[in-house]
Structure 1
Amino acid sequence: MIARFLLLASVASASFVTPAAFAAEAAQPAAADDQQASSPRGDVIVVTARRRQETAQEVPLAISVVKGDSIEATGNFNIVKLQQLAPTLQVYTTNPRNTSVNIRGLGVPFGLTSDGFEQGVGIYVDDVYNSRVAAATFDFLDVNQVEVLRGPQGTLYGKNTTAGAINITTNQPTFDFEGRAELTVGNLNYKQAKAAVSGPLTDTIAARIAVAATSRRGTLYNVTSQRWINEQDNLGIRGQLLFQPTEDFSLTLSGDYSKQDPECCGTTFVRVGKTQRPLNRQYDALAAAQGYVVPSRNPYDRLTDLDSNLNAGNKIGGVSAKIKWDVGPGTLTSVTAWRFWDWKPENDRDFTGLSIVSKSQNPSQQDQYSQEFRYNYESKDIDFVVGLFGFKQRIDTQGTEQQGEDAAQWSLAPSTDPTNPANIPATLAGLTASNTQWLKADSAALFGQLSWKVTDALTIQPGVRLNYDKKSGFYQRVVTNAQGQAISCTTVAEPGTIKGTTQQCGVYQPQVSSPSDSAWNFTYDFNVNYKIAPDVLAYATYAKSFKTLGINQNGLPLNADNTVNYDASTVKPESVNHYEIGLKTQFLDRRATFNLTAFRTDIKNFQATVNGGQFGTVRGYLANAGKVRSQGIEADFKIVASDRFTAYANGAFTDAKYKKFVDAPCPPELSGGTYQPSGATPDYSQPGVPGALSPRQCDISGQNLPGVSKWAFSYGAEYNIPVTLLAKDGQLYLGVDGNYRSHWNSNASPSIYTEVKGYALTNVRAGFRGEGFDVFGWVRNAFDVNYIENLQVAPGNTGLIAGQVGDPQTWGGTIKFSF
């Protein structure tokens, strides 16, 4: 609390001592762009991708811009849904914490999330960095637009943007009184209400407040609890206060709070695949031995029988102060922020209705502080921005995982002997692993970017960033038996513990680690862009980027002799070389826009998530893959044919592969058996053969990165006609939008069992709008397509594959008013 008070005090004092303004935001688009404002419906898109206001077509980088009204019209109410509008954006989530946001197949290692590494796709809201993807799964609230910046953005956006950045801008306070309200209802008992009001409090002070609430019945029925799960239950509020005594100075204070409290996030049975475990220890045999029958083997029946409590409680919020001051030929900006994230999950980790893992939860609390100063200068021939950035973060996690009464028979070798430990529930029941961990991360950076207009057509743009990072962590797992006694798995029991049994130590082992490391990194990029014609811009970019060092915060893997592998406590930084060329064009009096991009990204020491297949070892940890490559082509087209008709189509081809990963974990079809001899050449010739020897590691070089669709498309169109209805002048309109993604794999080491089929989704809407109102009906997933959002390999190498199915067809109506 003292730290937060000092933060706010410093903000208040800075408003008088160091007035700041960001010219990139204060400046209006250049006069050359004024002609663009005359195009039909005034379709000018202004962005701040280079930390200054300019039209999107002037920015020499690949960027997708989604306006707030498009987000609302298409029902894409958060980042997870945003991928339906941006083809090279991939977002996969099993719960808010375990959310992967990737661009061009890169960003977050696919799999279980660790706090000890950077995201790779930076998420910014009003210039404030959100360090955890989980802290950015909130509903969009009073959003003006979202910019998806593709490719490394490390010079201006930092070490966390090796794959790109998502720049979210909210609506700001106004000195003209305005307001809006929106109400939506639909099937599945869907209800959403939004409201925002903005206006002056005095001649120099304006305020804005926005609220939103969303609820919806779940899409998966749990026959055990007799409840629909995976529901929505969200509430958000944002308030802003603008102090603007002169045109040259402004101070904006912002605060926001979001709460999500759904019964989520459960899975359903999808399929079973053969592993190399003995046949009597694979899923079908184990389930039969315990008389267990899954409610349905068809995932699209939307049935599950999970027996553990489910919760995805998520609280997110913070405050910020943004100060802007025009200083002679340049402008100065300061952004100060504190954010928090409070995560209270409960999961069913065995993915079944059996009590194998009876409890699994890892609540976390995060505090982060950030401070950025920027100075921006613009002139006829030279533009530049220089800045300083500081960041401080602490994350605390308290984990609990407990074995249930069915664990012994499921996890141990079966026997007909009633005295065998596998047939005695007490062998493992009540065995509990309690994890305590924390992470401290400090970062500082000095950065700058220069734009030199060599001629009216040619511009050269170099940029640099020097970054320092220090990370330290602590992890302790204490294992207790059903009587609450701490156990040891060493040869001689440690003081205060008793010696654990072979069966207990094969499931959970005590562990302590304190990883710590620091690193300096230097990022630079070089862009050359040339205006071939007034509305044709060609550019080429080289970027040398990095993702800073990582530390393993979820525990460490074991060596072959069952000792802790402390060498895995830290992970090397990624080294990124990126190449990109692009063409941005407008024609038909700027009513049509066509942009084309080709790229290649090479990464050395790629930070990948690897997963152990057993309950007792670490669920997932970070390791370096030797080399990764992502390359592809993107095309974006939009036409505003007239005030009556608009359309867009975007497409992307992405080829993302492990170029070298020789010691990756093996997929389930090559796991579960007795290990092949140490030092032997791995034998991959018997996948899915029960009893076969399993390789200790697998060489997955040349295989595709998980989570990446090779082909992705999105499209949309809207047509309207002017009418007078109920004495109101307006437009009747019909809109359609859709997207397609080709197949992709859902396991860190691609598996034949985790291949997700491609799918296409179509949404339609029709309504009547006029000045100050909009009434429309909508259908999402109009053709009720069955599709999978994510697949997960159940622990234990039993061959069980569980998953989350996508939303079925939903429909409803929306009423919007504004004044």
Structure 2
Amino acid sequence: MIIGASATAFSRRLLLGLLCSSAASAVLAGEPVPSAPTDPSAQADANLVGQVFVTARRREESAQSVPIALTVTSAETLTQTGVNSIVALTQLVPTLQVLSPNARNTALTIRGLGASYGLANDGLEQGVGIYVDQVYVSRPGAATLDFVDIQQIEVLRGSQGTLFGKNTTAGALNITTRDATNTFEADAEASVGSLNFRQVKATAAGPIVADKLAARLSVVGTWRDGDLYNPISKLHQNARDSVGVRGQLKYAPTDRLTIKVAADYSAQHPECCTQVYVTVGQTLKPAAQQYAALAAGRNYTVASTNPYDRLSDVDDDIQADQFAGGGSVIVDYDFGPVTLTSVTAHRNWDWEPRNDRDYTALDVTRRSANPSHQKQDSQEFRLSSNGDNTINWTAGLYWFDQNVTTRGVTEYGNDASYWLLPGANSPDSLLAGYTVFNNSSIDTTSYAAFGQLTWKVNDRLSLTPGLRYTKEKKDGVYDQTTTGGSTTTDTTLINRRLGIARPQNFSAKTDDGSLSGQVAAVYAFNDNFNVYGTYSRGFKSGGINMTALPLNSASQPSLSAAVIRPEKVSTIDLGVKTQWFDRLLTANLAVFATDVDDFQANVVDSGPGALRGYLANVEKVEVRGAELDATTRSIGGFKLYGNLAYTDGKYASFKNGPCPLERIGTSTAACDLSGKALPGLSKWAGSGGAEYRAKTSLGRLTGEAYAGVDASFRSAYFADSSDSIYTRIKAYEIVNLRAGFQSDAGWEAFVSVRNAFDAKYIQNITVVSGNSGLVVGTPGDARAVAFTLRASY
């Protein structure tokens, strides 16, 4: 571990003392009180004390009765722990992992599954579905946006294809925002901290027409200086600059009908995202073609060989502008025996980047940008039974349509020939100004029909079967053109330049139909002790490579590589959900086994012609593991929580995989990675925390004083699909502290210290193009202090 020995020992003792067992507990530093039951009178029912309610099965239920491994995080916990996005949520939910060198190349995984590591490809879907107020959010870049007025977040582990459907083979994030209310309420929050951190949040809600029409409006803004310094541009880089707004109208003309109209918009304008020197890997190339000799040949010295000096020396502008927005209309009509729900939504996402892809002050890749524009429309109809019946069921229809268009450009500089074609004695002019334009467009249309029921066989046993049939079509077009570079008739030089990038274009289609589903059983030994077992089959649609393809012997795109087969996932979950001592303690355990056929990943083909990295299928992936969680309500003023996950994932069969950096020679060849660890997956991960609250007074002020600690850790993992020893991110621990005062008058003030022991860790790692051996990465956030003031009315 990489913080002081005493801090490491403290974190381990804290976690071991807290962790009992759980897979469906609330990760709450505060009292576990999420969304209230539908019936207001039920609030007073003593049977609900200590219960957490979720909508993981598209109806409100106690988390303890649901046969799904899940974790729930409340809005209060998000605020207290300083978690403002899904990226930061990983510190509270150890089975969730997010690698995000920038918004477009964000990859989410649950239990190690869900995303292909490497540059984003518009033709491939994620395997972790993000849902906000029942609406599927297709682009993973949304994970980097600030939360706006969140009520709670449910992280559902394992395949959720029956009810959530659209590409949830690894799991789903079910995010719920707060509803408009018929009573006036307002909240305001402001924070200031290290690196000129500033954040403001404000919410107002109330009636427009008494008992008929209510509204809610929320805004958030976050700004922070960059934590990297560039001595060339004299700028601080990797800054934060984002704003978001969300509004809702809730119309309830009768007790039976509710209509919610919501809209949101978020924008980011950060000086971001670049990476710094981490290490140099030893390849099999001749010494003259490796990083040390190449850098010396151009008199280049990196700004610092210590990534924690946080010095970047890229010599081109960088930006990571992101814009996301949309609207939805949700209609619920209660017919008595059943409720009909309609969810209509439109969303769009715009990505406007600029990168220096060589990550150095050399003029290798002087311009690299892939602006991407996405729009999606969806419609869902659900019919659900009402009441506490022997058989409760939900059935529905779903439609989704999406278009993603990318207009990319890469321009090479004066050092490109020297750096990317080492040892060939190519003139600098060969690639200087050589520009590659890549244009792509892909349309996706998806239809689905689904149904699930829960049969209460008796007072103890419940069975839940469910099925979903999905039909999905994709139609993609890719076109790459080149221009610039020196004029030459030398065939050898021309072929060298074409080896970097050459013109090509192709079109491809997929048309998949699949049946997915689950069968689950829950047996209640008593009101506080349940066991369950679930078998699920998930499906992630086939994809189209929206990137340059490897070439065949005729120097034409190999169209057989254009289409990627669907990914098929089978998971068995077994779990125990328990509550003890009048529900003061919730402790749950889950064990699971997942097998994936045709896992979608970045690979390298070894066929004839110029070789390219692209997306294809891994024959078999296996993941096995166990997850334990525990949380308490207040015990003498103390509240505790803990989570621990053991996950062992591997490529069971990956014969045509990408070669790790240390095995790359003068030519690129495929490598057999069978038996190697699944990338992005820590074998051990956990989090734990404690908070103490006590009634106190400060002069005339009365309220509660509190102090809390949150700790998380991850064991080492590989940050790229090749499992290179040079891309292994070391184990690390992070400890956060907080203390504050909550007044009875409705205001609160607290101080938080994130990464209190200033742990040194790397968030993500990239092998720089050209395979010189240079490896860059993003250092994790250093220790940061913030002061927050909140007020509620």
Name the TM-score class by shorter chain. Answer: over 0.9
Following superposition, the deviation at residue 109 of structure 1 comes to: 1.0
Cα distance in 2 between the residues matched to 1:88 and 1:207: 36
Give the match for residue 756 of structure 1.
729
Is residue 2:375 matched to residue 1:402? no
SS of residue paired to 1:388: strand
1:525-571: CA deviation from partner (whole Å, max 9, x where unpaired): 10011001111110001112211111111221235775432211001
8 Å Cα contact 1:672/1:797 also seen in 2: no
- 1:206-225 alignment runs, 5 A limit: 206-225=214-233
Following superposition, the deviation at residue 574 of structure 1 comes to: 1.1
Give the match for residue 741 of structure 2.
768
8 Å Cα contact 2:322/2:351 also seen in 1: yes
Cα distance in 2 between the residues matched to 1:618 and 1:45: 53
1:312-336: CA deviation from partner (whole Å, max 9, x where unpaired): 0000000110001101211110000
1:702-760: CA deviation from partner (whole Å, max 9, x where unpaired): 11110000000100110011111141210110011010000000111101111110000
8 Å Cα contact 1:648/1:717 also seen in 2: yes
Cα distance in 2 between the residues matched to 1:699 and 1:447: 39
Give the match for residue 469 of structure 1.
472
Identity percentage of aligned residues: 45
> What letter corresponds to residue 381 of structure 1 in structure 2?
T
Give the match for residue 45 of structure 2.
34
Cα distance in 1 between the residues matched to 2:389 and 2:252: 28
Give the match for residue 522 of structure 2.
529
1:385-437: CA deviation from partner (whole Å, max 9, x where unpaired): 0000000000110000011011122122347xxxx53xx32111000000111
8 Å Cα contact 2:332/2:341 also seen in 1: yes
SS of residue paired to 2:596: strand
Cα distance in 2 between the residues matched to 1:791 and 1:617: 26
Give the match for residue 541 of structure 2.
548
Following superposition, the deviation at residue 118 of structure 1 comes to: 1.7
Is residue 2:619 matched to residue 1:630? no
Cα distance in 2 between the residues matched to 1:340 and 1:429: 36
8 Å Cα contact 2:604/2:657 also seen in 1: no
Is residue 2:296 matched to residue 1:288? yes
SS of residue paired to 2:327: strand
Cα distance in 1 between the residues matched to 2:203 and 2:789: 14
Using the size of structure 2 for normalisation, the TM-score is: 0.92
SS of residue paired to 1:156: coil
Following superposition, the deviation at residue 254 of structure 1 comes to: 0.4
- 1:84-123 alignment runs, 5 A limit: 84-123=91-130
- 1:252-271 alignment runs, 5 A limit: 252-271=260-279
Is residue 2:785 matched to residue 1:808? no
Distance 1:374 1:259, change over 3 A: same
Give the match for residue 331 of structure 1.
339
Cα distance in 2 between the residues matched to 1:806 and 1:445: 41
Distance 1:190 1:68, change over 3 A: same
Cα distance in 2 between the residues matched to 1:369 and 1:208: 24
2:200 to 182, 193, 199: 193
1:675-700: CA deviation from partner (whole Å, max 9, x where unpaired): 6xxxxxxxxxxxxxxxxxxxx21111
Give the match for residue 438 of structure 2.
435
Unaligned runs of 5+ in 2: 1-34
Give the match for residue 150 of structure 2.
143
8 Å Cα contact 1:611/1:620 also seen in 2: yes
Using the size of structure 1 for normalisation, the TM-score is: 0.90
Distance 1:34 1:115, change over 3 A: farther
- 1:708-719 alignment runs, 5 A limit: 708-719=681-692
Is residue 2:785 matched to residue 1:785? no
8 Å Cα contact 1:251/1:324 also seen in 2: yes
Is residue 2:563 matched to residue 1:570? yes
Unaligned runs of 5+ in 1: 1-23, 492-498, 676-695
1:249 to 238, 246, 257: 257
Cα distance in 2 between the residues matched to 1:500 and 1:363: 31
Cα distance in 2 between the residues matched to 1:74 and 1:170: 18
8 Å Cα contact 1:265/1:312 also seen in 2: yes
SS of residue paired to 2:88: helix
Give the match for residue 650 of structure 2.
657
Following superposition, the deviation at residue 46 of structure 1 comes to: 1.2
Cα distance in 2 between the residues matched to 1:610 and 1:95: 21
Cα distance in 1 between the residues matched to 2:619 and 2:783: 43
> What letter corresponds to residue 724 of structure 1 in structure 2?
S
Following superposition, the deviation at residue 672 of structure 1 comes to: 3.0
1:71 to 50, 74, 78: 78
SS of residue paired to 1:206: strand
2:483 to 477, 480, 484: 480
1:175 to 156, 169, 182: 182
2:593 to 600, 611, 617: 600
User: Which piece of structure 1 moves more, 261-270 or 720-729?
Assistant: 720-729
Distance 1:660 1:137, change over 3 A: same
Give the match for residue 579 of structure 1.
572
Cα distance in 1 between the residues matched to 2:341 and 2:699: 50
Following superposition, the deviation at residue 488 of structure 1 comes to: 12
Cα distance in 2 between the residues matched to 1:543 and 1:50: 14
Distance 1:171 1:259, change over 3 A: same
8 Å Cα contact 1:737/1:762 also seen in 2: yes
Following superposition, the deviation at residue 503 of structure 1 comes to: 2.8
Cα distance in 1 between the residues matched to 2:732 and 2:555: 43
Cα distance in 1 between the residues matched to 2:199 and 2:154: 24
Following superposition, the deviation at residue 36 of structure 1 comes to: 3.9
2:162 to 149, 155, 160: 155
8 Å Cα contact 2:506/2:557 also seen in 1: no
Following superposition, the deviation at residue 25 of structure 1 comes to: 9.8
- 1:658-673 alignment runs, 5 A limit: 658-673=651-666
Give the match for residue 727 of structure 1.
700
1:52 to 52, 59, 66: 59
SS of residue paired to 1:514: strand
Give the match for residue 367 of structure 1.
375
1:582-640: CA deviation from partner (whole Å, max 9, x where unpaired): 00000110010001000000011111123699xx9787421100100111000001112
Distance 1:217 1:32, change over 3 A: closer
- 1:302-341 alignment runs, 5 A limit: 302-341=310-349
8 Å Cα contact 2:605/2:670 also seen in 1: no
Cα distance in 2 between the residues matched to 1:796 and 1:403: 12
SS of residue paired to 1:513: strand
> What letter corresponds to residue 46 of structure 2 in structure 1?
Q
Is residue 2:141 matched to residue 1:134? yes
Cα distance in 2 between the residues matched to 1:627 and 1:137: 30
Cα distance in 1 between the residues matched to 2:452 and 2:489: 56
Is residue 2:729 matched to residue 1:742? no
Cα distance in 1 between the residues matched to 2:652 and 2:411: 39
Distance 1:92 1:355, change over 3 A: same
Following superposition, the deviation at residue 376 of structure 1 comes to: 0.5
SS of residue paired to 1:76: coil
Cα RMSD over matched residues? 2.1
Cα distance in 1 between the residues matched to 2:423 and 2:595: 48
> What letter corresponds to residue 313 of structure 1 in structure 2?
D
Cα distance in 1 between the residues matched to 2:52 and 2:616: 41
SS of residue paired to 2:271: coil
Following superposition, the deviation at residue 643 of structure 1 comes to: 6.0
Following superposition, the deviation at residue 575 of structure 1 comes to: 1.5
Structure scoring higher RCO (CA < 8 A, sep ≥ 6) equals 2
Following superposition, the deviation at residue 812 of structure 1 comes to: 1.4
Cα distance in 2 between the residues matched to 1:465 and 1:715: 37
Cα distance in 1 between the residues matched to 2:325 and 2:562: 31
8 Å Cα contact 1:488/1:509 also seen in 2: no
Cα distance in 2 between the residues matched to 1:411 and 1:544: 45
Distance 1:476 1:709, change over 3 A: same
